[in-house]
Structure 1
Amino acid sequence: MNINTSEPQTNANDQYDHVQSVFESIAPKYDIMNDILSFRRHKAWRKFTMKKMAMKPGDTAIDLCCGTCDWTLSMAEASGTGQVIGLDFSPNMLKVGESKVKAKHLENQITLVQGNAMDLPFEDNRFDYATIGFGLRNVPDLVKVLQEMKRVVKPGGMVVCLELSKPTWQPFKGLYYFYFQQILPNLGKLFAKRYEQYKWLPDSLALFPGREELASIFREVGLQHVKAYPLTGGIAALHIGIKENRHV
């Protein structure tokens, strides 16, 4: 498979700016909309992911597209002492996340950074984990993001993606797409006063790789022991890959 999915730079910049404007505008309602749109399943998905990650005390992590920092906080609490970086391109999302970090008194353990997931401002082999939750489908070049995640984790470190996916079982598949394409944008209009922003979310999923295709991309960027777990009938998926440990 050819994994060179980069677009012309102007298109990439346009997509980056558009996605940033979407999340800047929905930041205040992001958490409540996640609960409504996923029927609170995103919490169970993250709990399942944390179990599979099996973090140990002192482990370090970088959480890309960290948004309002729910997963960032979960990792910091699981690690206990390890430093956790939350990175996002949206200042408004980070502002909401910062308030949560302060409420948990974890300012000394969690550092929030405004940055680009395709160009991480960190050295090679730094973190035990690199994670991205519900953000990979929003980037202009998902291969570049996965390459960056692999770069910054230590040998033997784990790259983790929790993302919406595409169910394959009918009639559930048809019902899901009807909900996602027809009902979801109207829920966004009703609860967050944002129709166009939530109409964009189904469009982003349409272009995103399915579960097995994304697993193949994980392998092609050089990650090993790749595992893909379908969640809630395949509407979400967890992908995990390990960076080669040359000392083994």
Structure 2
Amino acid sequence: MTVKPYTSEGSKKTQVAGMFNNIAPKYDFLNHFLSMGIDKIWRKRAINLFKGMKEPLILDVATGTGDLALEAQRRLGCKVVGVDISTEMLKVAEEKIKKRQLTESISVQEGDSENLPFEDNTFDAVMVAFGVRNFENLNKGLTDMARTLKEGGKMVVLEFSKPAYFPFKQLYLFYFRYILPWLGGIISKDKAAYTYLPESVLSFPDGQRFDEELVKAGMTPVKRYNQTMGIATIYLSEKKAQ
């Protein structure tokens, strides 16, 4: 069964866009507050996997408020194109980009991960942080990301996963299922959004199963990097020459 943010009718894609439009003003604060700032470290580690690439052109799918795109530009000095289905999240991203005077290096636009508005073999690298579990059709989204990637290009996916070891697993799941939705709901005024978060993570095919999804999409998995005892995972894959 597809996990959606709200119980009302409508596609997952439409509901996800509406959810992020609702929480956009509080999104960055809640991201850093609820993760105790660890999410910033994960993003840096994800970007470090692109080191050694010379001035890559990077596509940032589900760019949201632009944190991953900004980190990539800061660490690599590269150009980044960000796409997202939430107009309100993009407004926040645009404000950050202008404030840092990076409009020549980073651009963002509204776009659907399953129907990206780019030609085949356009980008040297593609990345997404905390976005793939929100795809309505995971295979279609990953396949379209791979399509826009040049042969030999890298794909980096940072996504939440499920810890496996006692007792951290039990403590984390209690926080994730009960404390996080309560706090997130109070601050964002959208409890459903932060109830959807743990539900979407728990139903997501993480670990080896996600590597199998990458293979189906035409990518070759290289390595998985577990973060903070399995709370998140960074997946590195490449598009091999056909």
Please classify the TM superposition score into its range, dividing by the shorter chain length. over 0.9
Secondary structure at the residue paired with 2:166?
coil
Could you state the TM-score of these two structures normalised by the residue count of structure 1?
A: 0.90
* 1:161-176 matches, cutoff 5 A: 161-176=157-172
CA contact (8 A) 1:223 1:244 kept: yes
Alignment partner for residue 41 of structure 1, among 33, 38, 41? 38
Indicate the residue corresponding to 1:8 in structure 2: none
Asked if 1:109 is matched to 2:105, the reply is yes
Q: TM-score when scaled to structure 2?
A: 0.92
Q: CA deviation at 1:105?
A: 0.7
Amino acid across the alignment from 2:160 = L
SS at match of 1:222: coil
Residue type at the aligned position of 1:39: M
Give the one of 175, 195, 198 matched to 1:199: 195
1:181 partner amino acid: R
Q: CA deviation at 1:57?
A: 4.2
Could you say which residue in structure 2 is the equivalent of 1:219? 215
Deviations 1:163-204 (A, max 9, x none): 101111111111111111111111112322221211111111
Amino acid at match of 1:187: L
1:153–1:243 contact (8 Å) kept in structure 2 = yes
Question: Quick one: percent identity of the two aligned structures?
Answer: 39
Tell me if structure 2 keeps the 8 A contact 1:219–1:226: no
2:24 is aligned to 27
Map of 2:227 onto structure 1: 231
For the Cα contact (< 8 Å) 2:79–2:106, is it kept in 1? yes
Cα separation, 2, equivalents of 1:190 and 1:181: 15
- Extract unaligned runs of 5+ from structure 2: 3-8
The CA RMSD over aligned residues, in Å, is 1.8
User: Do 1:131 and 1:160's aligned partners in 2 also have CA atoms closer than 8 Å?
Assistant: yes
Please state how far the C-alpha of 1:133 moved relative to its aligned partner: 0.5
| Residue 41 (structure 1) shift | 0.7
Give the deviation of 1:24 after TM superposition.
0.4
1:83 to 71, 79, 85: 79
For the residues of structure 2 that align with 1:45 and 1:138, how far apart are their CA atoms?
A: 19
Q: For 2:189 and 2:140, how far apart are their aligned partners in 1?
A: 33
Give 1:225 deviation, angstroms. Answer: 4.3
Range moving further from structure 2, 91-100 or 205-214: 205-214
Within the alignment, does 1:129 sit opposite 2:125 as a pair? yes
The offset of 1:212, in angstroms, is 1.6
Check whether the contact 2:211–2:221 (CA below 8 A) recurs between aligned residues: no
Deviation per residue, 1:82-110 (Å, 9 max, x gap): 43101000010000000000011111111
- Counterpart CA distance in 2 for 1:53 and 1:33 is 27
Higher relative contact order (CA 8 A, sep 6+): 2
| Among candidates 152, 167, 176, match of residue 148 of structure 2 | 152
Q: Which amino acid aligns with 1:100?
A: K
Q: Which amino acid aligns with 2:85?
A: F
| Separation in structure 2 between the aligned mates of residue 104 and residue 114 of structure 1, nearest angstrom | 21
2:90 corresponds in structure 1 to 94
- Please say if 1:245 is aligned against 2:241: yes
Distance of 1:164 and 1:120 partners within structure 2: 23
Please name the residue that 2:6 is paired with.
Answer: none
